[in-house]
């Protein structure tokens, strides 16, 4: 079976959240579930920021949902959206 790269957009609950700290929590929470191929903090608008996260997982049913559930369970995470998915 092939691998899939999934790009997630992770928004904090509060606009003044420490996204560097949240990034470390994300890395720790996902280390046994997938490979993180890219993690960036990006400006959205007017000082608002998000974490753009690309992970690589096996192309098995339910993998995207599993990663989303883990991300939503992290303290300070307000919204998680899958933005893109492609075979690698």
Average pLDDT over residues 61-75: 96
Q: How far apart are CA 42 and CA 52, in angstroms?
A: 7
> Which CATH number goes with the domain that contains 18?
3.30.70.60
Q: Give the model's pLDDT for residue 62.
A: 93
Number of domains present in the structure of the chain: 1
Q: Which domain holds residue 20?
A: 3-87
Q: For the stretch 50-83, what's the b/e string if a residue is b when 16 or more beta carbons lie within 10 angstroms of its beta carbon?
A: bbebbbebeeeeebbeebbebbeeeeebeebeee
- pTM reported for the whole predicted model: 0.92
pLDDT per residue as tens digits for the range 12-36: 999 899 999 999 999 999 999 999 9
């Amino acid at each position: 079976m092939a691998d899939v790269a999934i790009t997630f957009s992770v928004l904090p609950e509060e606009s003044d959240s420490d996204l560097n700290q949240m990034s470390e929590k994300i890395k720790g929470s996902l280390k046994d579930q997938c490979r993180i191929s890219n993690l960036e903090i990006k400006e959205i608008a007017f000082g608002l920021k998000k974490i753009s996260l690309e992970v690589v997982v096996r192309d098995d049913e339910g993998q995207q949902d599993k990663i989303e559930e883990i991300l939503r369970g992290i303290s300070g995470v307000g919204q998680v959206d899958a933005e893109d998915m492609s075979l690698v």
